[in-house]
Structure 1
Amino acid sequence: MGFVSKALILIAILTCLTSVAHAIRGQATFYTPAYVPSSCYGYNDHGIMIVALNGRLFGNKGACGRRYRVRCTGGTNAGVPHPCTGKSIVVTAVDLCPGCADNQIDLSQEAFSMIANPDAGRINIEYDQ
């Protein structure tokens, strides 16, 4: 294997590792069914592993169909101090969350429940596309 090939493989590996290392920190809440209609797909149902994005991420429907890996990193209130399950999930963007701040996403209730205790209501997260 030549030097150029080895260099390209090394660059590809570093690129993959860099994207994992740069997860975005934020917060997540959840919304409850019915999940249709959605801003992206109208009455076309896209299941329960879905997310509504803040306006910055949503980008005027530019994010429709994008998938995000989300992991709970901790609670935001003393009522449920350790809400995280230790799991991560992959959700698909289907909607706009008009009330979400720039660092916030709104998961379906089922998706939220897979990574955290729903009693927490709001959690700290890391996510990436």
Structure 2
Amino acid sequence: MVAAYSGDATYYYTGLGACGAESKDTDYIVALSTELYDNGAHCWQHLTVTYEGKSIDVTVVDECEGCSTYDIDLSPSAFSALAPESAGRIPVQWTYA
């Protein structure tokens, strides 16, 4: 069974991520908390993120220094696939895909 995590999702404007690649706001990407980023141990892994019955696939490309352990920071397009940006912060479930 795959472990599911609960946390809040926010969004950030992308650029050069901690995994070393340049990303665009239209990419479906995610930043993990510093604790889970673990010096890049999860770079390029995929997560399935679910909110109110909608699920998306995102790729780990960055570290979120301000995130609590299970919180994630999504690109604007990935966040918008789940909720309007005006929501700002939403409670999500996520798993490593």
Q: TM-score, normalised by structure 1?
A: 0.68
Which has the higher Rg, Structure 1 or Structure 2? 1
Q: Distance in 2 between matches of 1:66 and 1:104?
A: 16
The question of whether the paired residues in 1 share the 8 Å contact of 2:32 and 2:67 is answered with yes
Q: Distance in 2 between matches of 1:42 and 1:71?
A: 25
Q: Is 1:119 matched up with 2:82?
A: no
Q: Secondary structure of the equivalent of 1:41?
A: coil
Amino acid corresponding to residue 46 of structure 2 in structure 1: R
Q: CA RMSD in A?
A: 1.6
Structure number having the greater helix percentage: 1
Percentage of identical aligned residues: 39
Number of aligned positions between the proteins:
95
Runs of 4+ aligned structure 1 residues displaced above 6 Å come to: none
Where structure 1 has 5 or more consecutive residues not aligned to the other structure, the ranges are: 1-17, 74-85
Structure with bigger RCO (C-alpha 8 Å, 6+ apart): 2
Alpha-carbon shift at residue 103 of structure 1 (Å) = 2.1
Q: Secondary structure of the equivalent of 2:40?
A: coil
Q: TM-score, normalised by structure 2?
A: 0.88
